[in-house]
Chain A
Amino acid sequence: MNPELEQILSRAQTLYEDVDYKAVAEWKSCAPGRRAIGYMPIYVPRELIHAAGMLPVGIFGGGDRLEIIRGDAYFQSYICHIPRSTIELAISGRLDMLDGMLFPSICDVIRNLSGMWTMLFPGRYVRYVDLPQNYDARVGGEFWRRELTAMRADMARLAGGEISDQNLRNSIRIYNQNRRAIRELYQARSESPWLFPIAQVYAVLRAGSVLPPEEHTTMVRRYLEVASQGSTLPEDRSRVVLTGMFCEQPPLALLITLERAGCWIVDDDLLLGFRWFTGEVPEGGDAIENLAQAYLTQSVATASCYAPDGQRGRWLVDAVRQNHADGVIFCAPSFCDPALLEQPMLVAALEREHIPHTQFKYSEDTGQFAVIREQAGTFSDSIRLWSEA
């Protein structure tokens, strides 16, 4: 393996495996007064945190790398896994380095988790980020501008200073660069998935949850450049789109299993918040207005956001077409309301277009993959052997 590639992947893998968030503690220790703000999936305006000079830290649960000792005592058996491991991270002291926590409006579980946080950790900053479900600029836009303004004031207060317009515009520019780099990586992966194995892409992407965006953009760009020069030859596999994984993340081994079962993953909704906007947020003018408008008009389609046009599943069909995919794997966490309630609508959209699909569920700490491998392998084989194409 190219030494630079090895170095990038080693760094990304170390960050991925670190459930003690040492990188965040290190970042904070580099200068006095540095602060870090945690956020949960899917989308929060990280620009506001960054513009205040603080580090946005993505909290995506403990995956399969954390033993749940006390977290299970807070949740009934029929609730998904990410809140358990997140509570475990917090009550075990692993999130003590955070100076605040943002909970976006993804589902009732994450919403109620914000209230649990308030009760469990009195005195710590907690904010429920109520994303607008009305996309009229005069109505939902006005509500969201107000929320953004309030959040800006909160971030400034936590950082102990003001957030200047110039700083905010600069942060928008930096996150535009980050999103652009990730989009390019996804595009390259779609074109030559054999050069960008899912385990590598995921680890590099996930590093963005703890690295400052500038550093993460550099990592993504270096990875893109070095991995593009790889000499791996393409194999005859099925090209699939993965969907349903926008919140609780699957264990890396599950993603690797899918590839080993004969699938090239050409698109997915993993860590979707890092690619939330489909285009650039304008970098000049009124920064709050730009962020608000971008949310209303450039957000990706996903289960947690209302679809006013009723075209549920259109985006998935488009993803299949644009990435020349052969089929779709629905891969949702057990008990994930948004993904599982959405699924019948997506299935209907795919079936109208005669796009093959299969489905299974996982938990972030799933450890057995034999059945998934068999199912994904059969799906891939069926596409390659019997599809009309």
Chain B
Amino acid sequence: MTKDNVQESTVQKERSMVLQKQLIGDYYDSLGRAHEEGKRVVSTFVPGNLTELLRSFDLLPILPEINALQSGMRKLSANFIAEAEKHGHSEDVCTYVKCDIGMLKLGNVGPTGVKLPNPDLLLLSYTGCFTFLKWFELLRQEYQCPVAMLHVPYLANGRIEPHHVDYVVQQLRTEVIPKLEQVSGRRYDEARLSEMLALSAKAEDDFVWVLESAKNEPSPIDAYFGGVYYIGPIFTAFRGTSEGVEYYRVLREEIAERIKLGLGPVTPEGTMERQRYRLVVEGPPNWTSFREFWKMFYDEGAVIVASSYTKVGGLYDRGFRHDPNRPLESLAEYCLGCYTNLGLPARVDLLERYIREYRADGFMINSVKSCNSFSVGQLLMLRQLEQRTGVPGGFIESDLVDPRYFSPANIKNRIESYLQMLEQRRTAGVTA
């Protein structure tokens, strides 16, 4: 295939891709062996995850959202969701939850085919999503294991106040750390945690550099569809590890090379050649038809230069870094500052900055049925952003991991119509 926007001859796995595949594979293998090797595992969520803290106790994190999205990408989720609905879970609620519960009911074999261990603890980092609370209450009934609850206050006005930090730190000291000590049989070791946080900050520097490389024209990355791969290690189990640092170092080198050569992002079908539209995207992607969804954009020459989804695990590009000198306070600030924990006005401010800073031609909202945390208010966000920037927005609807809610013809039609409208504006000389 040679489409004018994609150069097939460049289809190849870059080193960072190989590295990431290896990391993820090893991670699932280590989960599979964990209990026979005497290791303890803790289930937790991506936003506000405390990976370094868990690893400082030699605990392994399991991330149900990641299991769900991986299951979605591997076409396993429909069956899991059907299983959960058979057990009385409503068709109206989050499909990540149902995918996870269905997977559990069908034997808890993870997306890579490795049977996942039952968690020894559920670390309920209640950050930016009400459903998290119910999700782990449901899991507690299934696994009959303890729960450590961490209530992260919502930043309605987008600002972290000192008492927010105090509240989270207090919970870390009185609720989370004692339960981690109990499960792991180890004492809390702040020096070890600080060492890990220093590694986190190092990886975070490179990660931000990667995200901001999209300010180049042409952009060397796709900051949404490609971005979900880039966030993988840092949002999940590899923050605070030397493997994580190495991944981002390699990734940065590769992207620096792409900039030097004037190359666009690597898509599943090769390097994207012509970039006709620079877009900002709000909302999570659809996972069940991920490649098909991405193709709808790159076939039309649309590259995503910034996205909010790549901020659900932290707003590093606005300056946050894990700080080894203030370990618990820094973890608290991290939890508080995740994208979905921000009030709607702050989310609009952020997207407006992205549209301006990344010189976007337009922005697209992918509104997912499963996630009210993201979705409620997006139609108003659309209007506000259009008013503030003069840049037109597009709106599509799908779901995270329920294939019943991905309607390819409708979505493709909307994307194409939207991009045609951008083209017409350009032809007519309309600018923001």
Contacts and interface: CB of A to CB of B under 8 A. Distances in A.
A347 B88 contact: yes
Contacts of B141: 310, 312, 345, 348
Given A109-B376, A115-B345, A341 B175 contact: no
A140 B92 CA distance: 31
9 contacts: A73-B379, A79-B376, A111-B154, A112-B372, A112-B376, A119-B344, A306-B149, A344-B88, A344-B138
A136 B174 contact: yes
Contacts, number: 153
B149 A308 contact: yes
Nearest to B381: A119
Contacts of A111: 130, 154, 373, 376
Nearest to B151: A133
A245 B150 CA distance: 27
B92 A335 contact: yes
Given A119-B348, A310-B147, A343-B90, A130 B380 contact: no
Interface residues of A, number: 54
Q: Which of A108, A130, A338 has the most CB of B within 10 A?
A: A108
Interface in A90-126: 105, 107-109, 111-116, 118-120
Interface string B7-34: 0000000000000000000000000000
B134 A303 contact: yes
A315 interface: no
B432 interface: no
A138 interface: yes
A128 interface: yes
Nearest to B173: A139
Interface string B372-393: 1101111110001000000000
Interface string B279-323: 000000000000000000000000000000000000000000000
Interface string A185-229: 000000000000000000000000000000000000000000000
Interface in B104-154: 124, 126, 129-131, 133-135, 137-138, 140-141, 147, 149, 151, 153-154
Nearest to B88: A344
Contacts of B137: 306-307, 310, 312, 342, 345
A109 B372 contact: yes
Given A76-B375, A79-B376, A108-B131, A341 B343 contact: no
Interface string B85-103: 0011110111001000000
Contacts of B380: 74, 116, 119-120
B372 A341 contact: no
Given A105-B154, A115-B343, A139 B167 contact: yes
Given A107-B130, A112-B372, A134 B377 contact: no
Contact of A76 (B140, B174, B367): B367
Given A108-B372, A128-B156, A115 B163 contact: no
A5 to B, nearest CB: 40
A361 B92 CA distance: 10
A154 to B, nearest CB: 13
Contacts of B167: 134, 139-140, 142-143
A131 B97 CA distance: 24
B369 interface: yes
B92 A334 contact: yes
A91 to B, nearest CB: 11
B151 A134 contact: yes
B416 interface: no
Given A75-B376, A138-B174, A338 B130 contact: yes
Contacts of A342: 134, 137
A140 B153 CA distance: 11
B156 A115 contact: yes
Interface in A140-189: 140, 142-143, 146
Nearest to B126: A133
